[in-house]
Structure 1
């Protein structure tokens, strides 16, 4: 039986063009609708499997309104729009579409988007019953190191349990230092692939001219300098999981090749023949990919291919009930590592840890505890070295516990910018001083309304 597609588009020429593309590709196209009520009537009578849905329709109601109805009816939909700005993407994202096709579109764009949409629709059906089971299922031994006491992280763990036993793509979102690689490891350890390789690739660390070779491999002599054969990361991960960290840093030309590899489940080493690979994809980023798409730096089709099951990791400042349990975990870990008998910390230390805003998240907390253990000599920790506490030495004030968390964070970022002379990126920049990713710092500055120009510096 042919897959049945409904087109909801109020521009006749574009609707007919889309119908021709779908007919040619072997799909069955329902009647074409141009308004909200017409679309609902056709859907009721013809029962489409998937809908191409324009955002702006005839009449008062929009495609956004229609999408909410289709979602309730479990009918998958892909948005059509002449706009790709952030506001449009946000409105579309809220309805959880299976894709977003920007006009004017090519035949290839339509078919690739539809393929991705079908992939996501099938995977979502597989997950329907998993949520009911997840609450009663424990994480296995490989995942018990995750420290969870607060509600926000319990939801994350539940999502991990839900998605782990499937093979669908996962996109992990969160600031630098929130534990994205750890979460990816948990998913792998709780999957049927846990006896196979877990291969990590930091896309931000790959040299642009070597990305393709790193991912897909190359044959000896395939290019200047290829003195030996290289087995790519995808082939190394065959049967297991590949973790694409900082996926937002991948160059556009490689995004195309990655998407093709995901769709065809094969790789083509440079100078070699295509090979089938069986890998599960987990990607992560601290960037806002919708912004990257709007700026033309990230492909929308790849975004929807990866964003089948997003997991948002909250920053440490939003899970404050977990700060002390995590700190005590690192205290015990580094005490054993340094062969020290350290059993606790004073109330002043615990208050300092709780009052601090942790812009570097769990990674920063681990670094602080490692340094504290190294400097401690007795069984009880009496002092902890925090960046804000050190700010007195650079002519700024200490953390004010009467202020709100975001106010302390704002003060700290401004203090670090002043210390770096307004420099954000690179050696000696504020991001390096704070031990966080520069893109994370820029994002936090935007959210907190910090203008770099106000720091009295000409550096960037």
Structure 2
């Protein structure tokens, strides 16, 4: 059985307040009544309400001022204002300020209940629309949420590039949403009804990657008991997304280059065949620098980077943080609101793990937070700044000092701990290439973190 809707009633006329509270309670609603705007703000800070029903003229904070605070601090919470007969201009002002509806005093019991019921029907319709939109977003892969200039520019680039067959190289840190951009490119292309196939080049052992990409024939090597189509064939007529392409082994790069140049692949132990694939690649590494250093083929780099697209980190689009937080809360089906202090902390944190880290933070709060809204203490320690924030020193030095090797080992350990075991994020935090971090981990016998997502 669903819990009754919770209504906050704000009315300074004690007799009208008692009658209205009785009528709403008799209709099955849970009502909490106060006589001032100040008391209403206190109540909103302590409890979760589904609707605010407030008088316009009150001593202290007026109903319109209360409405403006609700719209700012509790977006999505519906407000109905009550105004005296002959003061329609106040009702118009309230509607312009964000009120859902208004009641003119004196109003009947039926008029009151009809207005409240209409408000909740509207809320249900809005939720259903949000649910359907989320479902459409999940199906299309287009979940690039944000209103910042960086996101608007990214959407413009996607719109211009999607309709071409040119190779695209997505550049950006881990967790910025490069796969979402790749899916948006596919969805906006003439190939949108064809397969979208993903390969994570960092997650597949080098010995298996050639077979994964190009396939093999039965008997080509030990364990090849039957023919297998590679990802290029699976993506034929569609889009192939090569994630973490910077981790592609140097020995395999000529074969990928040939596939891109000739649109021809050769399964292990088999014969060459033609394919029609649009390739979108992504990396969090500096492929241009790797090409200069000889750790990545220069000709392959230029073939992949026909159209390079930068995907911005979350710290460069801070105005999107709360939009993303609400987006992830909706996906979790959690209607609780963020306390102002929690919202401020989310916006102030540098998010080294970008959108993926924010998503994980919101999911964790939804599971662990027990209150009626999300407070500052519900955030992870690093986000709320208890450890001194991003600008604090990473090392805890003992009074008697460290050897240089101990110092280096501790830096690697703390970077891995701070980044949840993600090697790419830890390497970026330490400002070293990923292969340097892996070398140091092996040198000091440190356990590898989870595979890059």
How far, CA to CA, are the matches of 1:411 and 1:377 in structure 2? 30
How far, CA to CA, are the matches of 1:143 and 1:346 in structure 2? 30
Q: Is the 8 Å Cα contact of residues 216 and 268 (structure 1) preserved in structure 2? A: yes
Aligned pair partner of 2:323 in 322, 325, 341? 325
Q: Which residues of 2 match residues 53-132 of structure 1 at below 5 A?
A: none
Q: Is the 8 Å Cα contact of residues 172 and 284 (structure 2) preserved in structure 1? A: yes
Q: Which residues of 2 match residues 40-439 of structure 1 at below 5 A?
A: 142=140, 144-334=142-332, 336=333, 340=334, 342-383=335-376, 384-388=378-382, 397-399=387-389, 408=390, 410-411=391-392, 414=395, 422=410, 424=412, 430-431=415-416, 433-435=418-420, 437-439=422-424
Secondary structure in structure 1 of the residue aligned to 2:352: coil
How far, CA to CA, are the matches of 2:234 and 2:303 in structure 1? 22
Rate the CA distance shift 1:196–1:432 in 2: closer, same or farther, 3 A. farther
TM-score, L = length of structure 2: 0.60
How far, CA to CA, are the matches of 1:147 and 1:204 in structure 2? 27
How far, CA to CA, are the matches of 2:243 and 2:338 in structure 1? 35
Q: CA RMSD in A?
A: 2.9
Shift of 1:440: 3.8
Q: Is the 8 Å Cα contact of residues 142 and 190 (structure 1) preserved in structure 2? A: no
Shift of 1:343: 3.3
Aligned residue in 2 for 1:86:
none
How far, CA to CA, are the matches of 1:275 and 1:171 in structure 2? 25
Q: How big is each residue's C-alpha offset from its partner over 1:174-209, in whole Å with a ceiling of 9 and x where there is no partner? A: 001000111111111111111111100000011111
Q: Is the 8 Å Cα contact of residues 176 and 437 (structure 1) preserved in structure 2? A: no
Q: Is the 8 Å Cα contact of residues 143 and 190 (structure 1) preserved in structure 2? A: no
Shift of 1:322: 0.6
How far, CA to CA, are the matches of 2:427 and 2:385 in structure 1? 20
Q: Is the 8 Å Cα contact of residues 174 and 354 (structure 2) preserved in structure 1? A: yes
Shift of 1:420: 10
Aligned residue in 2 for 1:128:
none
Shift of 1:363: 0.3
How far, CA to CA, are the matches of 1:398 and 1:415 in structure 2? 12
Secondary structure in structure 1 of the residue aligned to 2:363: helix
Q: Is the 8 Å Cα contact of residues 419 and 430 (structure 1) preserved in structure 2? A: no
Larger Rg: 2
The alignment of Structure 1 onto Structure 2 pairs a total of residues equal to 293
Task: Point out where structure 2 has 5 or more consecutive residues left out of the alignment.
Answer: 1-136, 398-405, 438-442, 447-453
TM-score, L = length of structure 1: 0.59
Shift of 1:331: 1.3
Shift of 1:273: 1.1
Secondary structure in structure 1 of the residue aligned to 2:197: strand
Shift of 1:378: 4.0
Q: Is the 8 Å Cα contact of residues 364 and 435 (structure 1) preserved in structure 2? A: no
Rate the CA distance shift 1:436–1:239 in 2: closer, same or farther, 3 A. farther
Rate the CA distance shift 1:213–1:432 in 2: closer, same or farther, 3 A. farther
How far, CA to CA, are the matches of 2:352 and 2:249 in structure 1? 28
Shift of 1:140: 12
Secondary structure in structure 1 of the residue aligned to 2:147: coil
Shift of 1:333: 1.1
Query: Post-superposition, which runs of at least 4 consecutive aligned residues in structure 1 deviate over 6 A?
Result: 457-460
Task: Point out where structure 1 has 5 or more consecutive residues left out of the alignment.
Answer: 1-138, 400-407
Shift of 1:144: 4.8
How far, CA to CA, are the matches of 1:328 and 1:419 in structure 2? 41
How far, CA to CA, are the matches of 1:176 and 1:412 in structure 2? 23
How far, CA to CA, are the matches of 1:311 and 1:222 in structure 2? 38
Q: Is the 8 Å Cα contact of residues 246 and 285 (structure 1) preserved in structure 2? A: yes
How far, CA to CA, are the matches of 1:331 and 1:421 in structure 2? 38
Q: Is the 8 Å Cα contact of residues 218 and 230 (structure 1) preserved in structure 2? A: yes
Q: How big is each residue's C-alpha offset from its partner over 1:99-136, in whole Å with a ceiling of 9 and x where there is no partner? A: xxxxxxxxxxxxxxxxxxxxxxxxxxxxxxxxxxxxxx
